[in-house]
Amino acid sequence: MPLTRIGVSGVSCLCAVSGVKMAYQALYRKWRPKTFEDVRGQEAVVRTLKNQIKTGRIGHAYLFCGTRGTGKTSVAKIFARAVNCENPVDGSPCGECASCRAIAAGTDMNVVEIDAASNNGVDNIRDIREQVRYRPTEGKYRVYIIDEVHMLSAAAFNALLKTLEEPPSYVIFILATTEIQKIPLTILSRCQRYDFHRIPTETIFEQLKSLVEKEGLAASDQALRYVARQADGSMRDALSLLDECLSYYIGKDLEYEDVLKVLGAADTAVYSAMLRELLAYRTGGALELLNKVLLSGQELPQFVSGLIWYLRNVLLVMTSADMSVTADIVDMSEDDFKRLKEDAAKAAGSGNGDRKQGVSRIIRYIELFSSLSGKLTGTTQKRVLTEVTLIRCTKPAMDAGSAEKEDAEGTDSPRAAGDTSGLAARVAALEAQTEQLQALIASLADRPAAPVSGTSAKKAPADPDSPLNFGLPDGTADAEYIIQHWDQVREYITAVQPLAGPLLDGSAVDVTVRGKSELVIDAPDSPVMEAPAFLTAPLKRIAKGVKITKELRKENSGEPAIPQPAMKVDTADHESGMV
């Protein structure tokens, strides 16, 4: 039988001669709620609308707002069928009367669904104003569902005001939007507002599990839980992801590893390993792990997003006192939560025993990767930026971005206002290195000292200026010994009397020996060159009873030196400070 492809309401289908056979229908369309009882995660909204239908307190304008995939359009369609149903059941449409069947099939002219993204002008609103003048041909109400209403132009909103405020008694407006902040206050004040919240992960998981069973397929709970978490509170996103995974693995049970492969995501163990590399400041290990992630086919934006989420869970464990509550918030398997607690304990101990430093370090990681996540969407150098961020995490001392950010953001920026997270990370790194050095020193101190060759080693003198520190005898040398070891003697005298350094360098002072007990000092005739005053005290420590004779010479005069009487170094002279 020949088949031709036609378009019906934007949906591709196959048309045969004997009738129409629909092609495969996506799960989120196939399992769209048909009654209020089928709606998941919006109990407050559902209960209020059902009570209005049962009591007849039906409003003329409703505003459904909330994130994508939470049931706004589905509830609007159910409400449109319920208010026109001939035999409602506890506020829900029966699904069997002519009105319910016509609305479900999209053939009822009294229920009009408008996409405001493509019908956002004044002319479109003018058409609505003309249509509301006519009563419904069948049913009780004419219902207008305007999806993405925030896309209407300012002029269109103004044109809608009067009709929205005082519509005919048989007209109901249902406006749906994901961006409530773009709706004018004049519109908000004329509508009953209902907020559709994100659907809990556990609710999405239970729904996925039920639908898989109804489809006659099989999937592990771990795989379904991961899909539910990735949906981020959106039932439509969860069903779309599940549809993708089931299509890839046709004829086999869907496992957790299969979901990771299809979605290009990383296992929790990979995020744990990356965190441990960062905490240990192992740059090479972190870059090598990133390379493995890329070779496995995972997308960098998704990997970074998953790492941020894992760091968030670590931070919650580190800062929460009630682990039972934290386990519910992080929503992990028992094995993954055990690994998470181990990583949190390791992170808490990474701050040299200071838990606050460990928390600051994790917060800094989250800030760095969050900044990276925003940059990855508009760049072709995703890998380079990710590697730079890893290096900034493992090498905080090399992170020069703080000054640049202060210049770019101004003095009102968080970093300029006193953000010390980078500094804390550097301090933690220095403290870790200090601990390693202290451990090394302690291990060396425990080793036995090496024996001194020759005679037994003498105990180091308590006096830092002792001649023994310079390899000189203590009070036992004679004049000849001093001349023979003059380099050591000069070094010792300079250390004890720093002012003697310039005097002894070069040829300013000549020292000769007369016999074994007399030193002759040839010094220039200058009041600041009182050579014996500098030499007597140090020489007394080396040799006792040595005479010092000072011979003054006239600089550049050619006159003979004037001999001075010999001086004997004794204890009394040294202690009194007299020469």
CATH of domain 467-576: 3.30.70
CATH of domain 270-404+419-431: 1.20.272.10
> Do 87 and 94 form a contact (C-beta atoms < 8 A)?
yes
Q: Closest Cα partner for 521 from 546, 495, 557, 496? A: 546
**Long-range contacts of range 321-329, CB-CB < 8 Å, 24 or more positions apart?**
none
For CA atoms 302, 303, 308, 313, give the dihedral sign. Answer: positive
pTM: 0.60
What pairs with residue 61 in β-bridges? Answer: 173
- Report helix angle 355-376 to 334-348, nearest 10: 110
Q: Closest Cα partner for 219 from 268, 196, 252? A: 252
Q: Calculate the dihedral angle through the C-alpha atoms of 448, 449, 453, 455, rounding to the nearest 10 degrees.
A: -100
Domain boundaries, the chain: 1-27, 31-196, 201-262, 270-404+419-431, 467-576
Distance CA 497, CA 520 (A): 19
Element containing residue 407 per DSSP (H, E): helix 401-409
Distance CA 357, CA 438 (A): 20
Residue-wise pLDDT for 460-473, tens only, equals 455 666 777 666 77
The residues, any chain, with a CB within 8 Å of residue 496's CB and separated by 6 or more, are 465, 537, 538, 541
CATH of domain 31-196: 3.40.50.300
Distance CA 67, CA 233 (A): 8
Q: What is the pLDDT along the chain (579 residues), one digit of tens a residue?
A: 344 333 333 344 444 444 545 577 888 888 899 999 999 989 999 999 999 999 989 999 999 999 899 999 999 999 999 999 888 888 889 888 888 888 888 888 888 999 988 888 899 888 988 888 888 877 789 999 999 999 999 999 999 988 888 888 899 999 999 999 999 999 999 999 999 999 988 899 999 999 999 888 888 888 898 899 888 889 999 999 998 888 887 778 888 888 888 887 778 889 999 999 999 889 999 999 999 988 888 888 889 998 998 999 899 888 887 766 666 677 677 777 888 888 888 888 765 556 788 888 899 999 999 999 989 888 889 999 999 999 999 888 776 554 445 444 443 444 434 445 556 666 766 777 787 777 777 766 655 555 544 444 444 455 666 777 666 777 677 777 777 777 777 777 777 776 666 666 654 556 666 666 666 666 555 444 455 566 677 777 777 666 666 665 544 444 444 444 444 444 334 333 333
Q: Closest Cα partner for 27 from 236, 210, 229, 226? A: 236
Q: Closest Cα partner for 301 from 258, 266, 272? A: 266
- The CATH class given to the 201-262 domain equals mainly alpha
